[in-house]
Structure formats: C-alpha cells, structure tokens
Chains A and B, each alone.
Chain A
Amino acid sequence: MEKSKKYFAGVLLLVTGMLFIIFWHYLPVEVGGQRPGNIYMLIFYNAFIAFTVAALFTAFLIAVSKRAYIAEHFAGFKRFRHLLLLMIKRDFVTRYRRSVLGVLWSLLNPLLTMLVLTMVFSTVFEFDIEYFPLYLLSGQLIFNFFSESTTLAMSSIINGASTIKKVYVPKYLFPTSRVLSSLVNLGFSLLAFMIVFFILRAPSHITMLLIPLPIIYIVVFSMGVGMFLSAMAVFFRDVSYIYGILTTLLMFMTPIFWPVAILPARVYHLIHLNPMFHFVTYFRDVALYGNVPGLWANIICIGFALAALGVGVYVKMAQQDKYILYL
C-alpha cells in the first residue's frame, strides 16, 4: 500500500514533467502579444480565466483526493477559519516584533533593496532596459514572495510542533497561513511598486487591472511548493539547507535584474523550464508593458500552479499522519 502510493507519486511527477517538456518543444509558446480591444474584452477575459482556474482547481481536487480528504479540507475549514486568520495575523506580527518601524519595513524593504540593486546594476552592467527600477522591482516582488512564502512554509510544521503534539488541527493550516501572511507582505511590495511607478511617471496601462491574475497563480504555486516542502522538512531537516541554495540558484536563473534578450538562443528555450520566468514575465506584461498575456502564457502558469499544488497536496495527504511521529 505504502509502496504503491510512492510509485504513484513518482509517476505523477514524471508525467507532469514530460507533459511540460512536450509543451515547449512542440507548441509555439509566445508570452504576451495580443493587445486588448476594449475594456469589456478585458473584463470578459479576466472572468473567463478566473472561471477556468476555479473549475480546474475543483476538478483537480476531486480527482486527486478521496472524499474524506475533501471533507477535511472544506468542512473543516469553516470551523478553523478563525484560527487561520489568527495565525496569519500572528505570523505578520511576529515578523516585526521589537522593530521600531514595524510594518513600515514591509514597504521600505523592497524600496531599499531596489535602490541598492539599481545602483549596482545600472553602473556595472548598463543593460538597456526602460524604467529599470520598475523592471527590477516587479521581478523582485514576485520572486521574493515565492522564496519568502515557501521558506516560511517549509518550517511551518516543525515550528507548529508544540501545537500539533497536543491539539488536533488540520495540518494544512500551517503552510497556508505562512503563504497568506507573505501575501499581505506582497501587498505592501505592490504599494512600493506603485509609488516608484508614479515617481518615475511610467505610462500606465489598462492591463494593470489584470495584476491579480499573476498573483493568484503565484500564490497557488507557492502553496503547492510550500506544502511539499513542509512535509519533506519534517522527515529530513536537510531540506531547509538544500532549499536555501536552490532558491539562490533559481533567483539567478530568473530574469529579475537582467533582460531576457541577453540570453543566447540555445539557453532561451531552457529558461522556459523555470516556472518563475513565466510568473515574472506574466506580471511584467500586465503591470509594465500593457500586454494581455496570450492563452498559452495562462495555460503554462495555471499548469505550473496546479501541478505544484497537486504534488504538494498529494504528498501532504499521504504523509500528514506521520508528522507527529517525527516532530
């Protein structure tokens, strides 16, 4: 029983991986391109995608989990919603405890990092990027959310040991609350982005209304990765060290402070394997360039997000009863 589950998880991973590789090689993937006809098109587009995400997500959950699991996730959620809210609040408060500026750091941090990086990169590399601070900030915003939320989620189960050992609480609350508290942080980063946007008098686009979309994608993606990591970290504490190095690697492989154009043609295809590339590009398309991302861009982002969530939920479901024995 145990073994067959592991094999199933392996096959699931393999199949999703292969599907993605087929994706890039045989389908013409163009990120961005179409411009919106008018505002109604935009709204329709937005609604359509939101609906697709919801439908896919539900179908996916039903397919992956058994009925009892769905009951735990949704019926249980109603009872524990207050707890989730308190946990998010607590995560956020703990972050800035005993700092003088407190929550203001959420706003200052991205701004100051952006200033430093802009100084460094505009003198050293001289990339030809319009509104470089905004380019940098937008990449940083998405990537930092991902790395912060997943890193926090990874240790969430271990840190929640004192609670898990004594009271029954659904285990998904721990990584979920970390991801959502990082989302609050992302809100502040977005505010910082807007401030810089107006200072630089960059041209605004109607597509900025689509900003919630890439954010939903990255939240779902981070949730999946976070759940997977939180489960793994319980059994192997080494995971946290490995992951620290992996995120650094991923950061340099994501076009945060360098333009995609500097890549040689043969590497250009490889970068499509990096999920963060798609999320960052998607965000820049809607927030900076006024492009409505094409259908493929959406399918790729949704695909990555749901694949991550699927693996995360699956691993968590299979392992959660064993957490307690390792804490």
Chain B
Amino acid sequence: MENAVISIKNASMMFNLSRDKVMGLKEYAVKAIKRQLHFDEFWALRDVNIEIKKGEVIGVLGLNGSGKSTLLKLVAGVFKPTKGSVTVRGAVSPLLELGAGFDPEFSARENVYMNGAMFGHSPAHMNTLYKDIMDFAELWEFENVPMKNFSSGMFARLGFAVATQVEPDILIVDEILGVGDHLFMKKCEKRMSDLLSHGTTVLMVSHTIATIKSMCTRAIVLDKGKVIRTGRPEYVCRDYETGAYIG
C-alpha cells in the first residue's frame, strides 16, 4: 500500500525464556565453552502482516498473552522484530501503557518536559503546551510532587495528557483508558475524537469491547501471536464476544 503509515511485514518476535536466571560471567563462559547455552524459545508474534493507513483507528483484541502489547511495542520502536520488518512513518506518541517513560523520582513538571523532549520538543515549545497539559490532567496541585507518590489514575491522566498534547502522528494506547474515572473517560474520548479529526492514526489495545466498537474503524484479533481476524469492529467484536475465535 502506498499511503500506509505503519506497515508490518512478516514480523515475528522471539523471546528467550529462562533469561531471567541470574548468570554471571563465569557461569556464562563455562556454559559457552561446554556449548550448553540454549534457551527456550517463545514466539510472541509470528508472521504478522498489517498495513495501517493514515487516520485509521485500529483496535487490537486478544486474550492475555496473545501478543497485543508486543505488537504495540514493535510499532513504538521499543522492540526490533526478530524477523521481518516494521516501518513507521511519522512521530509515534510516547504513550504506551501506564507511566510511559515517567521517572517516579521526579516531579510531574520535570517529567512532562522530559517526555516532550523524547518527542523532540524543545523546553521552549513545551512551555506553550504545559498549561494545556496540566489543565487537561487536572494535576496543578501536584505539579511539583515526585511521581512515585501519584496514584495510578493520576499517572494515566498525565500520560494521556502529554501523549495527546504533543500532537503525534501515531498514538499508541495500551489499556490506559480503563484507569480513569468516568468523567475523565469522557474527556479522553473527546480529545481522541479531536485528534482523529486531525488525521492522527491510533493503535489501541482494550479489553473493553464497547470502547473498541465505538472508536475504532478496524479491529484485529490476535491469538497466540498470529492475526486470526481483521475487519469491521462491530462484526469482529460480536464474534470475539461469543468466542467464535478462541476456546
């Protein structure tokens, strides 16, 4: 496709399990010499092919462990695919999941500027965005409080506020909308639709079927790392809920 902003071609992502086992240099060297270095392979994604056009809102569905978050991280550039390729045109928002890129030791203010800089914005430019961000997140009271003292709702609010105010080309949302209260949810949905009218592409993961149905233009179902269905959200969601794909 010519005008695809995100094109994922035959992307596979493999993790070596048992990596967490503490291994020192000595142990590693001994095992390497004995040729005992083998890991259990785990393919989180297998041969995923997705083309996403500008302005599309993609909802990703799937059970826990089906590879949804891995897919989002591939698009965000956090992971590099083991095989295949992921090409993204445009600036990806720094939002991934709760507390994306926030340093808990620092205040909300410092984190907002830091997050902006990760997006390529100068502190001067962030000055102009700062008021809107804090207004939206309603966190003026906690401006100078280290973020480790924030509740998960406050984290999510600030994260969402920053990610949407920096005007990204591609917004990635991983289950973040479920945390805020219903008033904030309304604000988020309004903000999302504003962004969408400006042509922002959205890739979101949600277990709330209603959200996917109301916001997305296309839904994708993942199962065991494979795309098993893509299509219009109302049909995909209906089948997903009745369990036509899985189990």
Contact = CB atoms under 8 A, between A and B. Distances in A.
Contact of B120 (A79, A238, A325): A79
B24 interface: yes
Interface stretch (A12-20, A23-31, A80-88): A80-88
B31 to A, nearest CB: 13
A90 B107 CA distance: 12
A174 to B, nearest CB: 12
A166 B25 contact: no
| Overall SS of chain A's interface | helix
A8 interface: no
B121 interface: yes
Nearest to B126: A82
Interface string A75-110: 000011011011000100010000000000000000
B96 A82 contact: no
Given A236-B24, A236-B25, A238-B24, A167 B96 contact: yes
B6 interface: no
A86 B114 contact: yes
Q: Which of A85, A86, A167 has the most CB of B within 10 A?
A: A167
B122 A325 contact: no
A80 B77 CA distance: 15
Contacts of B24: 236, 238
| Overall SS of chain B's interface | loop
Interface string B75-111: 0111110000000000010101101111111100010
Interface stretch (A50-58, A157-165, A203-211, A264-272): A157-165
A82 B76 contact: no
B6 to A, nearest CB: 14
B15 interface: yes
A169 interface: yes
B104 to A, nearest CB: 8
A31 B197 CA distance: 68
Range of interface residues on B (Cβ < 8 Å):
20 to 34
B93 to A, nearest CB: 9
Nearest to A164: B78
Contacts of A238: 24-25
Contact of B101 (A90, A162, A324): A162
B106 A90 contact: yes
B114 A324 contact: no
B208 interface: no
B20 to A, nearest CB: 9
A164 B76 CA distance: 11
A79 B77 CA distance: 15
A163 B101 contact: yes
A81 B110 CA distance: 17
A326 B19 contact: yes
B185 interface: no
A168 interface: yes
B103 A162 contact: yes
A123 B118 CA distance: 53
A166 B78 CA distance: 6
A207 to B, nearest CB: 39
A130 interface: no
Contact of B78 (A80, A86, A324): A324
Contacts of B23: 236
A126 interface: no
Given A82-B120, A238-B24, A325-B19, A166 B114 contact: no
B117 interface: yes
A321 B78 CA distance: 9
Interface string A208-247: 0000000000000000000000000000101100100000
Pairs A-B, 5 closest by C-beta atoms? A168-B77, A83-B117, A79-B120, A82-B117, A167-B101
Given A86-B114, A163-B101, A325-B15, 6 more contacts: A82-B117, A164-B78, A166-B100, A167-B101, A238-B24, A238-B25
